[in-house]
Structure 1
Amino acid sequence: MSQWSGESLNRHKLLPQPVDLVIILHSVTSSCTEDMQCEHLVREIRKAHLHVGFDDIGYSFLIGGNGKIYEGAGWNFVGAHTKGHNAKALGIAFIGDYRTIKPTPAALQALQDLLSCSVEEKHLKEDYKLVGHRQLRATESPGATLQAIIEMWPHWLADVKYLN
């Protein structure tokens, strides 16, 4: 985080490892494709999350249209992204609004790379489940277009009623 904000984290509660759930969200902000633009948006998201009383950025990670991954709560700390699921899931947000547009190919590849790395590093179980935020809460997130994309991926879970 210090690479994009220069500030230390305000997190204390550890996320039990490995988790078996990944929740995909979108930030409903402008999108970005340039490093400085993405870093600016991540700083603005942090300010907004602090303003509503979160300890820090609520998402575990954010992904920019530039294909870069920005750490929020990261692998090790509980975030504030999906009430009732924060203490048992990674919440990964795409920077932008994906109700009608697709994320960039670079952003989608960054998510695939992050998921693979998470499994390799034992932060995420090999048989993890992937869901859209809208499957767990009354929201449009991660947007209809992004939701349709993740529904084609092998770890996507259609029926969330069996999640603990």
Structure 2
Amino acid sequence: MILVFCIALGVVQWCYAEAACGVVSKKKWDGMKPLHVEYLPRPVDIVIIQHTATPGCSADNECEELIRNIQENHMEQQKFWDIGMSFVVGGNAKVYEGSGWLHVGAHTYGYNRRSIGISFLGNYNNDEPTPEQLEAVKNLIKCGVEQGHLSPDYHLLGHKQLISTESPGRKLYREIRTWPHFLEDASAIMNKS
């Protein structure tokens, strides 16, 4: 069960959801609080798998430093409210809280208000995801369904199916195409202009 604590600060409301599903909380990885939040309507029916195209990591301290650097880049250079991804998985097979289950992320332009973005630290054009990383993400998704954050009939997609990118990388994309709920033809859910 997720516990939610909210604090009203003038017109800004900040909520902290105690991480569930085995997720390393933002507080534990020493992340910054979001500048602003927009709540994600749940349950969400789209899960987007990505990679960061950064170096990978295998130790907790390396992974946490990479995530802090990504968050700083997103908030300082790109002017996002928070780290863009909903969750980030390291080479240490730990899942880290990004914008989380409750808040709209900034991971896939045009789809942020209707999806969860899960990003693997590393470049999966070059690297193979480990069985432990893959299992961690499968468990996160399963828990998301059990907790009511994800619809039981959610669609799983690779980032590149929705925008022009190489993400999640050839090797990770090849793997997720074998997962239940993978949506081969994304045209039914694509934003139409």
> How high is the TM-score relative to the length of structure 1?
0.97
AA partner of residue 93 (structure 1) = S
Equivalent of 1:56 in 74, 82, 91: 82
Q: Give 1:151 deviation, angstroms.
A: 0.3
Q: What is the percentage of aligned positions where both structures have the same residue? A: 47
Corresponding position of 2:185: 159
Corresponding position of 1:131: 157
Given that residues 11 and 73 in structure 1 are in contact (C-alpha distance below 8 angstroms), is that contact kept between their aligned partners in structure 2?
no
> How high is the TM-score relative to the length of structure 2?
0.83
Instruction: Report the Cα distance in structure 1 between the residues aligned to 2:154 and 2:188, rounded to whole angstroms.
Output: 14
> Where does 1:1-164 land on structure 2 (aligned, <5 Å)?
1-5=26-30, 7-50=32-75, 51-163=77-189
Q: Give 1:100 deviation, angstroms.
A: 2.5
AA partner of residue 127 (structure 1) = D
Instruction: Report the Cα distance in structure 2 between the residues aligned to 1:123 and 1:6, rounded to whole angstroms.
Output: 22
Q: Give 1:12 deviation, angstroms.
A: 1.4
Q: Please tell me the root mean square deviation across aligned C-alpha atoms, in Å.
A: 1.0
AA partner of residue 85 (structure 1) = Y
Q: Give 1:6 deviation, angstroms.
A: 5.0
Q: Give 1:8 deviation, angstroms.
A: 2.1
Given that residues 31 and 71 in structure 2 are in contact (C-alpha distance below 8 angstroms), is that contact kept between their aligned partners in structure 1?
no
Instruction: Report the Cα distance in structure 2 between the residues aligned to 1:19 and 1:148, rounded to whole angstroms.
Output: 24
Q: Give 1:89 deviation, angstroms.
A: 0.1
Q: Give 1:122 deviation, angstroms.
A: 0.3
Q: Secondary structure at the match of 1:98?
A: coil
Between Structure 1 and Structure 2, how many residues are aligned?
A: 164
CA deviation map 1:18-48 (0-9, x unaligned): 0000000001111011000000000011111
Q: Secondary structure at the match of 2:164?
A: coil
Corresponding position of 2:8: none
Runs of 4+ in 1 over 6 A off after TM superposition: none
Q: Which runs of 5+ in 1 are unaligned?
A: none
